[in-house]
Structures are given as C-alpha cells and as structure tokens.
Amino acid sequence: MQGKLQRSFSFLENLMANREVSISSVVELGEILRAVRKESGLTQHDAAALCNVSLPFLNSLEQGKPTAQIGKVLSVCSRFGIDVRLRLPGETA
C-alpha cells in the first residue's frame, strides 16, 4: 500500500509540475481529473453540472472505473481544458 501511495503522489506531483503526463490506465486518468477539479476549486457536484454528466458518472470516472463511456470521458476532459492526444506507433517523439 505504501508503494502505491508513493507512486500516486509522484505521478500527481509530476503532473502538476510539468502540466503534461503520459497515462497508461483509467485509474491515472481519474487521478488527473480529480486533481484538476480540485485545483479548479470545484466540488464533484458542481463539476458534474458543468460537464453535463451525472454525479455518479463523475465519481466513477475519478475512481478509475473502467466502464466509463469514452464520449463522456472526452467531454469531461475538454471542459477542464485537458487535451487528450494519442501517439501512434512509429511516431517520433
């Protein structure tokens, strides 16, 4: 548990310092969305209303539940100014 918490803290610390981070799981995406929401001073209730999604959906998304609908996920990211990018195989960095 200690290692998981340390990894999560390092992940979010890197995000907030660099404002850019690669993610490899829906859990990491949820952590990012929660951090950005809190940084914006919004409650989950207010953020859900702003993003036009239900409170249970936003809660599940922030908890990293893998069942979230991608369209809604992208909508929430967009409302928080998060640019989602894909790097295709063979693309140079």
CA 15, distance to chain mean position in Å, is 11
Examine residue 93 and state whether it is found in any structural domain, yes or no.
Answer: no
**pLDDT for 5:** 44
**pLDDT for 1:** 46
The domain of 62 spans: 2-79
Q: H/E/C letters for each residue in 14-68? A: HHHHHCCCCCCCHHHHHHHHHHHHHHCCCCHHHHHHHHCCCHHHHHHHHCCCCCC
pLDDT at residue 39 is higher than 60: yes
Examine residue 51 and state whether it is found in any structural domain, yes or no.
Answer: yes
Q: Which amino acid is at 32?
A: I
Residue where the block lists tokens 């990894």? 7
Examine residue 89 and state whether it is found in any structural domain, yes or no.
Answer: no
Examine residue 86 and state whether it is found in any structural domain, yes or no.
Answer: no
- The CATH number assigned to the domain holding 33 equals 1.10.260.40
Least confident of 3-7, 28-32, 64-68: 3-7
Structural domain count of the chain: 1
Examine residue 27 and state whether it is found in any structural domain, yes or no.
Answer: yes
Examine residue 31 and state whether it is found in any structural domain, yes or no.
Answer: yes
Which residues touch 71 (CB under 8 Å, ≥6 apart)? Answer: none
